[in-house]
Amino acid sequence: MSKRRPLTTGDVARYCHVTPNAVFKWIQADKLEAFTTPGGHHRVKVEDFLAFLGKYGMPVPDDFIAEEKHRVLVVDDDLALAKAVAKELKKAGYRVETAADGFEAGSKVRTFKPDLLVLDLGLPGIDGFEVMKSLRSDPSSRNIKVIVITGRVKGDVRTMARQAGAEAVIFKPVNMTRLMKHVARLVG
């Protein structure tokens, strides 16, 4: 539930760089959920506005990201994959940072304070298992959720990752729809 006041059609228009009339048409066409005040004015709940932006692939304004969504740290040495995952998360309104190895991940956990890590196991230097061990041993990061993404197929990687502290395991190539369902389940 949002702590922000509902948005006026003028607020929505400013965020979307359109006219209030365009917003009124979206409401009339049932594209944007809104309610009517006793005085006959339309208001849009923040969560409905964010859902609208996500549905139509529109960017989420920075002030909504910082206040309304959780922080996700994507840790993968495959830069293209990390960027693709970060792009999907940002499109959904999450605040996102990336790290290319376990050392950088440890540093960003302290400064960025993520709610969730999307973590590759096969990192150079400090691998994903060591990152999870470090997270779970520190009271300040113990409750950070972890989704492991991995290309490893030897042994029972899923069981090993869960025992190390992962809430979910996804094998590469990453199915973005499945990943986003896990993210929503774990942090909302």
Clarify whether residues 105 and 39 are in a common domain.
no
Domain shared by 118 and 174, yes or no: yes
Output b/e per residue, 108-139; b: 16+ Cβ within 10 A. bbeeeebbbbbbbbebeebbbbbbbeebeeee
Q: Are residues 47 and 85 in the same domain?
A: no
Q: Give domain status of residue 114, yes or no.
A: yes
pLDDT band, residue 2 (cuts 50/70/90): very low
- pLDDT for position 63: 66
Specify the higher pLDDT residue, 117 or 4: 117
Structurally, the chain folds into a number of domains equal to 2
pLDDT digits (tens, 9 = 90+) for 166-186: 999 999 999 999 999 999 899
Record the tokens describing residue 127, joined without a space.
């691998």
Q: Are 137 and 165 in contact (CB under 8 A)?
A: no
Cβ contacts of residue 108 below 8 Å, gap of 6+? Answer: 73, 97, 99, 114
Is residue 151 in a domain?
Answer: yes
3-state helix, strand, coil in the chain (%, to 5): 45, 15, 35
Note the pLDDT of residue 141. 92
In 3D space, the residue among 181, 149, 141, 151 whose CA is nearest the CA of residue 166 turns out to be 149
Place of tokens 């972890």: 146
Judgement on whether residues 55 and 113 belong to the same structural domain of the protein: no
Kindly report, residue by residue over 67-114, the tens digit of the pLDDT: 556 899 999 999 999 999 999 999 888 989 999 999 999 999 999 899
Whether 79 is covered by a domain: the verdict is yes
Last residue in a domain, options 43, 61, 79: 61
- pTM, to two decimals: 0.65
Bridge partners, residue 117, by sequence:
73, 146
Question: What tens digit of pLDDT does each residue of 33-73 get?
Answer: 999 999 999 999 988 898 898 888 888 776 665 455 689 99
Beta bridge partners of 36: 42
Each residue's pLDDT tens digit, 152-164: 877 788 899 999 9
Domain of residue 45: give its range.
7-61
- Return the CATH number at 35: 1.10.1660.10
Q: Verify that 79 and 161 share a domain, yes or no.
A: yes
User: Tens digit of pLDDT for each residue in 11-40?
Assistant: 999 999 999 999 999 999 999 999 999 999
Task: State yes or no: cis peptide before 173, omega within 30 of 0.
Answer: yes
Same domain? For 40 and 128 the reply is no
Position 1 pLDDT exceeds 50:
no
Last residue of a domain, one of 18, 33, 61: 61
